Chain A
Amino acid sequence: MTAILRTGTGRTGFRLSFGGGPLPLYLGGAIILGWFVLALLAPVVAPYDPIYQDVAARLQPPSLAHWFGTDNFGRDILSRVIWSARIDLQIALFGVVFPFIIGTVLGSCAGYFGGWIDTILMRIIDVVLAFPFLVLMMAIIVILKPGLSSFYVAMALVGWVSYARLVRAQILVIKSSDFVVAATSLGYSHSRIMFRHLLPNAILGSVVFSMSDAVLVLLNGAAISYLGLGVQPPTAEWGIMIAEGQSFITSAWWITTFPGIAIVTLAMGFSLLADGLGEKLGVRE
């Protein structure tokens, strides 16, 4: 009776968890905060001027003077990577905020009012989703002329659909929930129900989604800049740096390698934050 024949395997030993518990949340938050501080303190932290061309120090491999080496114009890669964080964090922020606002407004209108507003909006969303994301953005950017502001416009025009769908679906669920029915029966006005009761609940899912969306926005922004359609030289931006370094991959691997690692770490920060936040708030994508 006392001899334990088979026990449930009590999981011991390696206990590092990704995508569960608070660790991803803190780790992701720390990574993003770290980049944010670097970007803010760029003038202080960066050892060199990011666009100063030191012709004497062209294509130098990583050394004590230039930790990440220099590019073909003799610019310091480390300094450029740090200054780029300002642009790329801005890309991730504005590239998410504009679609978030537009999508939330349109999606909540569709979900709340329903009827023909809903029908038309859903058809538009279907059509926008039919285009590959980047292709539609490029088609819009070509009309506007390449540049960062065009990128934001294109991002807003294309990116809102995911948020609209998300918020609309949330609102449809909550609309039939008990407390909204109660609020309606208490005689609250439409706008009051909408802004005081529906939106705060519906937005929770969008906030979590926006963290993983920031990853996509960041990658898209870098890709658009890599193709030469976004941020224009000589501004330091990770995507451009990678594009500029591609001609020198046989001789100077460091020009492309370090900006890419910068993108991966920042994107990972957002992914972890999205995982952790989703877990904590009980939101599944």
Chain B
Amino acid sequence: MSDTVLSVRDLTVVVHGDGPPEAIVDGVSFDLKRGEILGLVGESGSGKSVTSRALIRLLPGARLGIAGGSAVLGGRDILALDENSVRAVRGGEIGMIFQNPSSHLDPVMTIGRQIAESIRFHRSVSRGEARRQAIDILRQVGIPDPERRYDAYPHEFSGGMRQRAMIAVALACDPDVLIADEPTTALDVTVQAQILKLLMDLRDTRGVSIIFITHDLGVVSQICDRVAVMYGGRIVEVGDKRDIIGNGRHPYTAGLVACQPAEGHPGERVRTIAGQPPRVGQMPPGCRFHPRCPKADAVCMQTRPPLEASGTAHLVACHHPVLNAQEVAS
């Protein structure tokens, strides 16, 4: 269960503006193992969504471009494929689940046909066979009475059911990797829990690997095996969930965890990280977190900290990492 499905190295996405191109995803590297749920965590604008779009080569906006790196899936580098081969990857090996199912499903096509369309494109099967497979998938994602719901339009579904339908569309061709971009943010809490459970079930039954993008550490702690924290387009810390939540060594991770309103401490003031995340066109030199970092010094302002091992399978990119519990004890 530990073989690597997707290996991303030095992924860089630049934005072409009036000045020189600026990296909004800057040298991102991570591995995704089979059957693993990897959380990609960060504030809005941290580059987590752009990273996921780069993996299916659908960057949002004409001014964005992939400037380098590799993403190896099944022995092939996705970033080096031609357009035709990339299409086979999209929806075939990588399924995409979006945040807002209402706007990401075609309102004038039935749910079933949207799934069948995908199946028929990726595997040349007959109309009837595609329909049968689509109904099967609808059943797997927990949509009741799938034969009838096949012919329903997205607006006829409730919010939770719509997100299940979107997951069904993503699963249509039995992908190796699911990218879920804030899939539960638009849902209310009870439905959110159901969708998280569904994703974990799918991981268990199908062995699918999931990149789970979110800003919500609470959700991360429920579903993820490993977590990569992004800030200013870079991964600043990556490790097992236990290493990150509560034992994060990067000051940003520590701040992020401290910002979560803790359960059982009512009345406590919600803490925030001072300052604003960097904006496109104004990325600071050196460590991109240094303007907001309490431990920043001259080195941080000039030199980019490398992502270095801090323990088994725990990497941190910081010149002055926070001491973790063991070190404090010693």
Q: A residues within 8 Å of B by Cβ?
A: 1-11
| Interface residues of A, dominant DSSP | loop
- Taken together as a complex, chains A and B put the C-alpha atoms of A7 and B63 apart, in Å, by 7
- Taken together as a complex, chains A and B put the C-alpha atoms of A6 and B79 apart, in Å, by 10
Shortest distance between the CB of A188 and any CB in chain B (Å):
39
Does B67 touch A at the CB level, under 8 Å? yes
- Taken together as a complex, chains A and B put the C-alpha atoms of A7 and B21 apart, in Å, by 10
Interface size class of B (residues with CB under 8 A): 20 to 34
**B59 to chain A: closest residue by CB:** A8
Contact call B16/A5, Cβ cutoff below 8 A: no
Please list 24 pairs of residues, one from A and one from B, whose beta carbons are closer than 8 Å in the complex, sorted by A's number: A1-B12, A1-B27, A1-B67, A1-B68, A1-B69, A3-B67, A3-B68, A4-B21, A5-B65, A5-B79, A5-B80, A6-B57, A6-B65, A6-B66, A7-B65, A8-B15, A8-B61, A8-B62, A8-B63, A8-B64, A8-B65, A9-B62, A10-B16, A11-B62
**A7 to chain B: closest residue by CB:** B65
Q: B residues within 8 Å of A by Cβ?
A: 10, 12, 14-16, 21, 27, 57, 59, 61-69, 79-80
| Interface residues of B, dominant DSSP | strand
* A4-B21, A5-B80, A9-B62 given; 20 more Cβ-contact pairs under 8 Å: A1-B27, A1-B67, A1-B68, A1-B69, A2-B67, A3-B68, A4-B68, A5-B65, A5-B67, A5-B79, A6-B57, A6-B65, A6-B66, A7-B16, A8-B15, A8-B61, A8-B63, A8-B65, A10-B16, A10-B63
Chain B contacts of A1 at CB under 8 A? 10, 12, 27, 67-69
Shortest distance between the CB of A3 and any CB in chain B (Å):
6
- Taken together as a complex, chains A and B put the C-alpha atoms of A3 and B65 apart, in Å, by 11
Chain B contacts of A7 at CB under 8 A? 16, 65
- Taken together as a complex, chains A and B put the C-alpha atoms of A54 and B21 apart, in Å, by 71
- Taken together as a complex, chains A and B put the C-alpha atoms of A43 and B67 apart, in Å, by 67
- Taken together as a complex, chains A and B put the C-alpha atoms of A53 and B118 apart, in Å, by 74
Chain B contacts of A4 at CB under 8 A? 14, 21, 65, 67-68
Chain A contacts of B10 at CB under 8 A? 1
- Taken together as a complex, chains A and B put the C-alpha atoms of A8 and B67 apart, in Å, by 10
**B69 to chain A: closest residue by CB:** A1
- Taken together as a complex, chains A and B put the C-alpha atoms of A1 and B66 apart, in Å, by 10
Chain A contacts of B59 at CB under 8 A? 8
Chain A contacts of B21 at CB under 8 A? 4
Shortest distance between the CB of A2 and any CB in chain B (Å):
7
Residue in B15, B62, B68 whose beta carbon sits within 8 Å of that of A5 in the complex: B68
Shortest distance between the CB of A11 and any CB in chain B (Å):
8
- Taken together as a complex, chains A and B put the C-alpha atoms of A7 and B68 apart, in Å, by 11
Q: Looking at A1, A2, A3, which has the most chain B CB atoms within 10 Å of its CB?
A: A1
Contact call A8/B69, Cβ cutoff below 8 A: no
- Taken together as a complex, chains A and B put the C-alpha atoms of A269 and B250 apart, in Å, by 62
- Taken together as a complex, chains A and B put the C-alpha atoms of A38 and B57 apart, in Å, by 57
**B26 to chain A: closest residue by CB:** A1
- Taken together as a complex, chains A and B put the C-alpha atoms of A2 and B66 apart, in Å, by 10
- Taken together as a complex, chains A and B put the C-alpha atoms of A10 and B68 apart, in Å, by 18
**A5 to chain B: closest residue by CB:** B66
- Taken together as a complex, chains A and B put the C-alpha atoms of A2 and B57 apart, in Å, by 18
Sort A-B residue pairs by CB-CB distance and give the 6 closest, nearest first: A1-B68, A7-B65, A8-B63, A8-B62, A8-B65, A6-B65
- Taken together as a complex, chains A and B put the C-alpha atoms of A6 and B10 apart, in Å, by 16
Chain A contacts of B27 at CB under 8 A? 1
- Taken together as a complex, chains A and B put the C-alpha atoms of A64 and B14 apart, in Å, by 62
**B64 to chain A: closest residue by CB:** A8
- Taken together as a complex, chains A and B put the C-alpha atoms of A4 and B15 apart, in Å, by 12
Chain A contacts of B79 at CB under 8 A? 5
Shortest distance between the CB of A9 and any CB in chain B (Å):
6
A7-B16, A10-B16 known; A2+B68 contact, CB < 8 A: yes
- Taken together as a complex, chains A and B put the C-alpha atoms of A212 and B291 apart, in Å, by 52
- Taken together as a complex, chains A and B put the C-alpha atoms of A268 and B149 apart, in Å, by 51
Shortest distance between the CB of A13 and any CB in chain B (Å):
15
Chain B contacts of A11 at CB under 8 A? 62
Q: Looking at A2, A4, A8, which has the most chain B CB atoms within 10 Å of its CB?
A: A8
**B61 to chain A: closest residue by CB:** A8
Chain A contacts of B63 at CB under 8 A? 8, 10
Shortest distance between the CB of B322 and any CB in chain A (Å):
30
Chain A contacts of B67 at CB under 8 A? 1-5
- Taken together as a complex, chains A and B put the C-alpha atoms of A218 and B16 apart, in Å, by 46
